[in-house]
Amino acid sequence: MLQIGSAALFKIIELSQRLIQVSTFREQGLPTLADITNQKCQLAALSRSLVVHVDHMRNLVKGETEPFAAQDELQPHPVPGMKNPSSALSFRSEETAVFVEPDGSQRCVELPGEFSDAPGSIAHHAFPWTKSRHDVYVNVNYADKVSADGKSVMTSPFALGEEHNDFRAAVADFAARDLAPHVERWNAAHEAPLEAIKLMADLGLFGLGGPEEYGGAGDFTSLCIAIEEIGKVDQSLGITLEAAVGLGINPIAHFGTAEQKARWLPDLCAGRALAAFGLTEPEAGSDAGATRTRAVRRDRKWVINGSKQFITNSGTDITLLCTVTARTGTRDNGKPEISAIIVPLGTPGFEVGPSYAKLGWHASDTHPLTFTDVRVPEDHLLGERGYGYQQFLSILDDGRVAIAALALGCIRACLDLATQYAMQRTAFGVPIGRKQGVAFQIADLDVMAAAAHQLVYAAAAMRDHGGRAEEFKRAAAIAKLYATESAVSAARIATQVFGGYGFMEEYPVARFYRDAKALEIGEGTSEVQRLLIARGLGLPVE
């Protein structure tokens, strides 16, 4: 079994996450520069040499370089003409730079020395060989790739770099080797397999995106990659990971006190334990503000009464706690005050009901929960009193991108399965893939996978690099809506390609068909996503 500590893996990744943008600056060019400096860094594939794209129309030059020197390495040769060495970015001594002019012509230059490393700041340096002969500014940003033949290949801001691609390959390899051979057995058992959770934990997957001081490592994009790759093998395992991090760890990591984090996060990030989040109730799902569960403060304790339903990871042998939303009062305007409270499993009065008999996600853990005079210390309040609902809504934005990544895994699985089968299966003397009626539908799956990938990783990059909250909310809703509805279509198409075999349990495509539907429901239904998107457009939709 492959064992990679996520911290170790991401140390390597972080060291190589350095990109630069070089912009020319004229006296009138300040607004352009301001625009550029507002953008946040996004890693892109690292090329062998610095590549600088000169755009005279916009006074813009973009660049990227191979991994920079670590901060503790010597930087002996300051770049001539650099005015503010302490605030510039680094690139290696004697770097070869390729300057690509707008007409496609290129020139290579040697860049002696290194800039120091201070992301977000600006240095400038005269590069007299550019046609515009203006000062060149260096700042953190994403960059363009240059292909092996030197041609410019525009990449989007979220282009995944070698580090993310290597990470993806490691997770895909692990999933194919250690999980795939067992997923049918695990699904047939109708419970979350602790042996699979342990394998994912050993790989460091539960710490992805979590705080480093508690064993977390990597970024949100890595978490999405892991969920996608695990979900490509089995959706149940994918949702187990997604819920463990998105619903279990994230609320505590974002809103917990130092004591709460220190108490709960080490075990959760290590995957030794799972946490759940109970928002949904029998009478409150999409309308989560209609929560009926109540918590009253008495004798320095919260006394909780109520019930939750459909709660993922709430009843495994390693479930540690469930964070629940509860009414803790009534506001002046008559609306309920809703707070979030951490309830450890095993607290008297906290009952986990039997597993649901679900249509799909058979190897994931889902239970109803009841709370009868459950008493927890008052310091189990998560975040500020009265902000439980808002906190959860912000957590859900991340969750929607993560569910979209899970859906992308489903689409890719359907694409692979359908493609392979269409090449092998013959009808009327030829492989069914020769029939346009089959081949064109599989082509559509490829389009879905490509489009969902763009939406998922654009949103993930926004999350990692500080996109504006309302833009991220919109991007998350769009990604979730498109990817999950596409996953349902993809599963239907792939099952159809398999004909009668597609209806048989022994074919994985049948499992994906069953599993896909939940994607359109969990963490906000498709209708709720459309509502959010429409509201974002300013429509007065209810």
Ligand X SMILES: Cc1cc2nc3c(=O)[nH]c(=O)nc-3n(C[C@H](O)[C@H](O)[C@H](O)COP(=O)(O)OP(=O)(O)OC[C@H]3O[C@@H](n4cnc5c(N)ncnc54)[C@H](O)[C@@H]3O)c2cc1C
Binding site for ligand X (CB under 6 A): 243, 247, 276-280, 285-287, 310-312, 358, 361, 366, 518, 521-525, 527-528, 531
Query: DSSP letter at 160?
Result: -
Residue 535, both tokens: 């509201």
User: For ligand X, which is the closer residue by CB, 130 or 240?
Assistant: 240
Q: How far is the CB of 286 from ligand X (least distance, A)?
A: 3
Query: Residue 72 and residue 95: Cα distance in Å, rounded?
Result: 18
User: For ligand X, which is the closer residue by CB, 278 or 433?
Assistant: 278
User: For ligand X, which is the closer residue by CB, 50 or 227?
Assistant: 227
Residue 300, both tokens: 């320095």
Q: What is the secondary structure of 428-473 as a DSSP string?
A: TTEEGGGSHHHHHHHHHHHHHHHHHHHHHHHHHHHHHTT--HHHHH
Q: How far is the CB of 266 from ligand X (least distance, A)?
A: 22
**Active-site residue 101, yes or no?**
no
The three-class DSSP label of residue 487 is: helix
Q: How far is the CB of 481 from ligand X (least distance, A)?
A: 11
Q: Describe the chain by its helix, strand, coil percentages, rounded to 5.
A: 45, 20, 35
The three-class DSSP label of residue 522 is: coil
Instruction: Give ∠ CA 242-199-164 in degrees, rounded to 5.
Output: 60
- For residues 404-434, one letter each, b for 16 or more C-beta atoms within 10 angstroms of the residue's C-beta and e for the rest, the string is bbbbbbbbbbbbebbbebbeeeeeeeeebbe
Give the Å distances, CA to CA, from 240 to 106, 174, 205: 50, 16, 11
Which residue's Cβ has the minimum distance to ligand X? Answer: 285
Q: Positive or negative CA dihedral for 85, 37, 54, 92?
A: positive
- Under 8 Å between Cβ of 47 and 64: yes
Q: How far is the CB of 338 from ligand X (least distance, A)?
A: 13
- Under 8 Å between Cβ of 273 and 318: yes
Q: How far is the CB of 350 from ligand X (least distance, A)?
A: 15
Among candidates 89, 185, 138, 270, which has minimal Cα distance to 511?
Answer: 185
Q: Say which residue the tokens 């770049």 belong to.
A: 79
User: For ligand X, which is the closer residue by CB, 123 or 395?
Assistant: 395
Q: How far is the CB of 288 from ligand X (least distance, A)?
A: 7
Task: Give me the catalytic one of 95, 281, 520, 523.
Answer: 523
User: For ligand X, which is the closer residue by CB, 249 or 528?
Assistant: 528
User: For ligand X, which is the closer residue by CB, 31 or 538?
Assistant: 538
Q: How far is the CB of 245 from ligand X (least distance, A)?
A: 12
User: For ligand X, which is the closer residue by CB, 294 or 358?
Assistant: 358
Active site members: 523
